[in-house]
Structure 1
Amino acid sequence: MDALPSSPLGWLCTGVTLLFGVTVLCMAKRSPVEKADVLVWRLLPALLGLLCAATLGAGGGLVVFCAVCLVSSAYLGVRALLPVGDKAVLITGSDTGIGHALAKYLDNLGFVVFAGVLNEDGPGAEELRRTCSQRLSLLQLDITNATQVKEAYLKVSEKVQNTGLWGVVNNAGILGIPADAELLPMSTYRRCMEVNFFGAVEVSKIFLPLLRKSQGRLVNVSSMAGGIPLPRYAAYGASKAALSMFSGVMRQELSKWGIKVAAIHPSGFRTGIQGTSDLWDKQIKELMENLPADTRQDYGEDYLLGLKSYFLHMPAYCNADLSPVLSAVLHALLAKRPHGLYTPGKGAYMSLCIFCYFPLWFYDFFISKMLSTESLPRALRTSEAETT
């Protein structure tokens, strides 16, 4: 009998705890998708409050109960998702990879999906037509073509009308050829910036009036290479870094309109962004034809051709399961309090932390070991041989 509350404060503590528990059960009934989170992070404080009231007394129990409630509420504020309802989302680059998987994923969840594709008659577009619901609409959308971007805007605005567009996912991107920055032709730098940065900016600017109507979300798929320097990804990384900085500025500027902006920095995933072996052959040919004679001599043709081996082995080091990226985009689209930055995938967050908080010499050492290659340019091999 001594465990029961015997003071007005004790009864108040017990009553608040019971009321909290009943409220949580009602929330779980209304939101079955989040039932596990709600039951764990709201019922747990309720039960803990009763236990504390019984063991610590009324005052101590109330203090512990309130403290745990604050922590769980903060956690649930991040975890809580809005209902899908009839929310409409535009995804660029839906032919293959993350964009293709995301279009299927969001369609399956009940979103109205506008899937922008580079080729509306291509195999990726045909598969979306075959496997997705009637809610999904395909858009011919080369994001470097201003006319196609404007035509896509007119088609989307006609369908969503006064409700606006809930989300824009700037996913379309190209990798270019992974090689030393000195070796890359200027055309590769320009092409990466044109697609990965300027294209995303163009789409964002054109579709922002529709996002303002819905107070929706702008999600930019950047890369781990957009947050940290990685050898052989100068052109790609620079374009993605520009996109990440654009996302940060837009997050600040668009908050006054109620629009939330997020950047996704995935680590290595198998998306097909590296293209085909035939595409590589075309790019390596362009690279070798544009190299100055002395640069070609210093690196050596065997080093240049060795880059192809690196290219062909890239997928083996990438994760084929895209679900971490899809979950991150979904959270960015539906969370009541989305993050400004997501780092899905193995090593993405750890590498970013090392770059930000450790000395640069340690980061460079870490990356050199993580991305170590046996091949050296000809001039360096010759220099080593002379000194031994």
Structure 2
Amino acid sequence: MWFRRKTSKPLPRKPIARSQAGLFDPDGHSAIQRVRLPVDLITPGMRVIKLDRPWTEVPVLFQGFTIQDSTQARILRQYCEWVLVEGEEKLLSSALDKVSLHKKRTASPMPEIRPLAEEMPRASEAWSKTQNFVEQVIRDIEQGNDLNLQAARPIIRECVESIKANASAMFWMSRIKSRDAYTAEHCLRVAIFTVAFARFLGMPDEDLEIAGMCGLLHDLGKLKVPQEILNKPGALSSDEFAIMQEHTTFGYELLSADPNLDPIIRDVTRHHHERMDGRGYPEQLEEWQISRFARVVSIVDAFDAMTSDRCYRDGIPASDAIRVLYRNRGQQFDAELVEAFIRMVGIYPPGTLVELTTGEVALIVSVHPGKKLKPRVEILLDAEKNAVTPRTIDLAKPVLGEQPEIVQPLPDGAYGISLHERIQQLITDRRVYPS
């Protein structure tokens, strides 16, 4: 068992750098180097000298150790952003060669292995399986049954494979929302966006499944909160808010009943409402005490909560939610992660219906981190709002004549265009005309 000690002195946060110091053998030849590395680049054989937080904040047995296997490296990736490591120059050179590329990891779109239309059937199936799992967990909690949380792993694995092939397919699925099924769909959407965000940040593939589990299970504790508080349309009283805050502890206790769950999943469930300024809950942790995965999920959780319809209010547009995240970076949310998240989802996330300066109506297909206002779109209606054969264009690429731009986002269903119907059409077309 490990404990967080709020009295530990935090280490100063520094930008990731390639600072290194050579240690020399008796002949004066460089034998060992020390270098501060992004945690995603560490490998077995490197000796960990220092973390970006006190050792007491990470569930490791020793303060200073040589990484023996992928499990130890994975634990450091879940909690830290950078570490100081020591090793022979030959061992470190490969990682050092990747530092520059790693810094630019959020400046390029995620690779697409399969076209959106080709990936959509698999994404839809994975979405349905995951939604069914969450709904079953909700029923089990309500009925007091034992939870089979391990059953989520192969389901999340399918979501991971779909996101790796083309994340926009899952992003499209996440845009279809029901206010009557908020809890189940919220957990599912947070899982999907967490996996995609982890991949966008450059985390190794082996971390994506656990990241998805963190997102999927982060809010289960809300099922223990009375419905009259959870769905209250007005402001909560101080007593009601105190009960609402207990959902992080309720969730932690639910997950603690399964000793086979990775500890970071419980950590995220308990701490995804902690804040960088120390004013979060339930423990008012300071910035350096909040794990990397909890920081990631807190951003995704807030974004989905703001943009989703509830039984007592409508969600706000994604562009407004992005402004809220940006305004609260460094206070409520990790500043660097907020900026990376905005680069991933864009101003108009995939699946958003928009109107162009040409009068045409289109769906956002994918976004480019460096060209937030110029995504790839699928044209569905012409300037007179008549249906046309769908065609995809990249707004960032010059065209002859008028260069189309986005005028405004449109609500789903505008001009008779339904995202759900377009998804079903793509799925049907793939079944009728398989590749």
Tell me the TM-score normalized by structure 2: 0.26
Rg comparison, structure with higher value: 1
Identify the structure with the greater helix proportion: 1
Q: Greater strand percent: which structure? A: 2
Q: Normalised by the size of structure 1, how large is the TM-score?
A: 0.29
Q: Which of the pair has the greater relative contact order for Cα pairs under 8 Å at 6+ separation?
A: 1
